[in-house]
Chains A and B, each alone.
Chain A
Amino acid sequence: MIFNFNKKYNIFGIDVYILCIIFILMIFSLLGIYSAGNSSGNSLKYIYIQFIAFFIGFICIFVFSKINYKYYEHSYKLIYILSLIILISVLIFGSTKRGTKGWFDFGFISFQPVEIAKILFILSFSSFIDLNERKIKKIYFFIFSLIMFFVHLILIMMQPDFSSTLSYFPVVLILFFIIGVKSFYILCSIVFFIFLISVPFFKIIINSVLILETFQEKIITVFTNVIFFLKTGYKIFYFITILLFLIIYCLMFLKKNKIKVKWFYIFCLFCSMLIGCIGSIFIEKYLKDYQRKRLIVFINPNIDSKGAGYNIIQSKITIGSGKLLGKGFMNGSQTQFGFLPEQHTDFIFSSICEEFGWVISQLIIILYFVLIYRAFVIAKKSHDRYGYLVAIGIATMFCFYVIMNIGMAIGIMPVTGVPLLLLSYGGSSVFSSLCAIGILCSIDINNRYY
């Protein structure tokens, strides 16, 4: 292993690689936010808040790393209830920002409790599946753990905060996968989610086509959209990965059963499809107009290049125009003249890419990767399965943040409001991420000595 664990590289017992990564990311975050805030004239205010968030976050790392994570395992019910209390209280006492009732406003600072709830959910959920490991083959266990997840989902949807719910899905799926839930169940849940999302997705496409008058036009638009979708080659990666995974699962499934397919499984599969379809109707109703448009422009941003597609197009231009070495700090025309929207929050990666170039953007990706790699190493070193699950859960969440946000910036993911881990402006996300890293460190410290 390249980053071989060594006792020498510790500060207060905390893995020095992780600390370095956080520190470098913090610097880029502050630089990026300073540059991005310049056009609106708020750069100092943003930097101030971000710095405070990092400062509190660093304290949290040390605090959480000193708390043994094993305490969490047995009080998982308490933790889960605590997360529910947070989510319910924000629905009652929270203040509304941009149509989302998801903020505790303390006057001088406002805080988004969903971020904390996610970590609490990871802690309690992994504890639950760890303690009930023996029942893992039972379907009621599977359904019960899903209910645990859905309660959170529904509470967050009531805010409504669609993008925050997205990060739950990969965490739950990966944890199921790791603990050894039957692949079939995971297949079912994937099918379920695919149907849940794809039905409104296709309905949107069809609706956008139905507006046209003649039949010929309709056919042509469908074809051009599909062809555009296929032509933009990187999107094929998606299909290939999804297809490969599905095929592998199917193969394993058939191999295990010696090609005897039980009717029960098929029934289950169709049930999940059906439930997915039914659920999708609600989701379709729930989707707001701007979300619909975002899905359309994901297929072809040029359909609405001045409206919903503007973000994607400008973001791509911003990243691309940085080229190898960038335009220089505070010199990016896209950022400084306000062509890039949401430049200090969602699209901060584009802004950094423009001003610092390809070298730095790759460095940032490598830093993220090393962070996730460290989390995996910590997970593997863990003596008990709970630590392993929590570490994997946190790593998955981090990975999802990074992939969704950067993918959105470079146009291979639909636009969602997922913040970029440790780089985006936003106190609560930085704070909660650093808390999660603190828990990771705690797992690391407590499993260091045999």
Chain B
Amino acid sequence: MWKLKNKFNLFGTNRHNIVFCFFVFLFLCISFRIFYLQIIKGNMYKIISEKQRFYNIYEYAPRGLIYSSDNCILVNNKFKYILLYDSSSKSKNNLSQINVKLSKIFNRKVELFEDKKKRYGKSTRFIDNLTLKDVFKIQENNINLYDKINIIKKPYRVYCFDDMTSHLTGYTSEVTFDEIKKNSSYKIGDYIGRGGIEQNYDKYIRGKNGYFQFETNAKGEQLKQTTYVLPKIGANVYSTINSKLQKVSYEALKNSNTGRGAVVVLETKSGAILALLSLPSFDANKLGKIEFYKNFINKRSPFFNRTLQGCYPPGSIFKIITFSAIVDILNIDILDKKKCDGNFKLGNRNYVCWDKHGHGELNIVDAMSKSCNIFFYKYALEVGIKNLLEYSKNFYIGLKTGIDLPNEKKGFLPIIESANTGGKHWFKGDTLSFAIGQNSLCVTPLQMACMMSIVANKGIYYTPYIVEQIKDYNNNILYKHEQKINGMTKLSDKTWNLLHSSLIKVIETGTGWRCNIRDVKISGKTGTAQNYHGNDHSWFVSYAPSDNPEISIAVIVENAGSGGLSAVQIAKKIYNVYFNNIKIEKY
């Protein structure tokens, strides 16, 4: 028996054992690695292998329809057919042969080329807008083509009211890469809602795409069709919009002197939005055409939703809040009077009323109806800026209304703390301009409509909403709006009564006299908001009927001058339609 040369005894082992241990180590490494791959990561690799084995040709699900409250279809679907070419299939037909055949079928020259983008799985898109007739033609004429060509049905959106409802319905476009990263349920080529109801309720509306699933080999050849999954139609949205009100407000605003502005019509007792209009607007049907993209560079900014995002100084309509503060705090009676002589001196500066001659001796109701600035200046100084801000907060100025539409702005309410301590000083002159709704204050038309419904409801503030319910194709209710009280504005009964009576007087004899209609009492307030962008904005906020309010309206016409002129007439047209047509139909 011979012995190994054990010159170096390492940890009591000889070289034989070292080599053996080394081999054991290598085998253990491999064994653990296989354990890691097959047991720990097995599920992941299984999914990957399934993914590369199957490939789907998607059949797009039609999105849900959007209805108005009077059962008009606001957004509809139509179908187009797309011809797909499977470049990897085994068939002998090549591209030029297919071109010739298709040209014969259509009686015109068809030139197809391979689209490198490959939006539709491994197939490439050829002809986008095939009609049903064309599809039948292909099917009748040539069956040989069929192993290379797939025709899929693709729905597209039709906006029935063109640019009338575009801001509230929004539009759809293909999903971007970033959105796919954020939400993995979207795939390339899917459509996603942008703006309005389409965006906010996208998860209900979009449905689920169906697909033809094929088994493929490594070369990408389709071997056989394994499954077909039907597309799931998106759920229908039942909105609170009244198409007639929307239409009349559209026509009225469009025919006003500048044609730019916003209209919000609210149902005071629930917060339902009956009309929501922002002009100028865009036509979502023209998506994909040059006209649509010209909107992006249009200086009138048609994509800007003025009802939710437009921040305007409120002007005189803010006097409603100043009024309530004055009456509530100073406990003023109808007998208390102040004199307006057209001028008001504070320090070195001279503040004027809009009527240079002055209004003479006024009580608070007259001051409201004539919209006298001096009267409110005088009392605002007595009340003080802190209380004024407190009351604006009571009316939820500077807060989002919480409407179920995207991208709402909250306006701006100056912050008293920052005004008092450091930074900008708050002067008494600022208080004066604040009291008549100027200064840095700004509000959205929707907020003003809400403010009017607060006044109409004597303080109860319902959250405005636009979608009543969502039902799928089996009529299962997926979503139903629950009426929600957003807040409560607490004022004394005396204040409410005085406010109501003075708002009625604004329409009867005051600045809003143009809004008088037969048989219906309307309360409202006009406003003329000075701004840096040109002529004054024309405001009118109102509700009707005065004794039992049903709807409240906020109208702004940009740069249209005095509120009593253009904005009031728009509101009048809306009231006319509401009380003469819609209400009669209801009962």
Contact = CB atoms under 8 A, between A and B. Distances in A.
A166 to B, nearest CB: 15
Contacts of A321: 42, 45-46, 48-50
Nearest to B6: A180
Nearest to A403: B26
Contacts of B215: 337
B2 A412 contact: no
B23 A372 contact: yes
A177 interface: yes
Given A39-B217, A177-B15, A334-B49, A252 B38 contact: no
B251 to A, nearest CB: 59
Contacts, number: 129
Contact of B2 (A322, A324, A385): A385
B415 interface: no
A432 to B, nearest CB: 21
A431 interface: no
Contacts of B1: 383
Contacts of A324: 38-39, 42
Given A338-B219, A361-B34, A320 B41 contact: yes
Contacts of B27: 365, 368-369, 402-403
Given A316-B45, A406-B30, A337 B216 contact: yes
A407 B23 contact: no
Contact of A323 (B15, B16, B18, B46): B46
B195 to A, nearest CB: 38
A399 B37 contact: no
Given A183-B8, A333-B49, A337-B218, A361 B38 contact: yes
Contacts of A316: 37, 45
A384 to B, nearest CB: 6
Contact of B5 (A180, A334, A369): A180
Interface string B5-33: 10110100001101110011111011111
A174 B31 contact: no
Contacts of A177: 15, 18-19
B48 A392 contact: no
Nearest to B43: A323
A317 interface: yes
Given A39-B217, A339-B52, A383-B1, A317 B34 contact: no
A319 B38 contact: yes
B296 interface: no
B95 interface: no
Interface in A371-399: 372, 376, 379-380, 383-385, 392, 395-396, 399
A412 B45 CA distance: 17
A434 interface: no
6 closest A-B pairs by beta carbon, nearest first, are: A320-B45, A180-B5, A323-B42, A321-B49, A338-B218, A337-B217
Given A337-B223, A338-B217, A339-B218, 11 more contacts: A177-B15, A178-B16, A234-B36, A317-B49, A320-B42, A320-B46, A338-B219, A339-B52, A383-B1, A406-B30, A410-B34
26 contacts: A178-B19, A180-B15, A183-B8, A234-B36, A317-B49, A320-B42, A321-B50, A322-B42, A323-B43, A324-B38, A334-B49, A337-B53, A337-B218, A338-B219, A339-B49, A339-B218, A353-B34, A353-B38, A357-B38, A358-B42, A361-B34, A372-B23, A379-B16, A407-B30, A410-B34, A410-B37
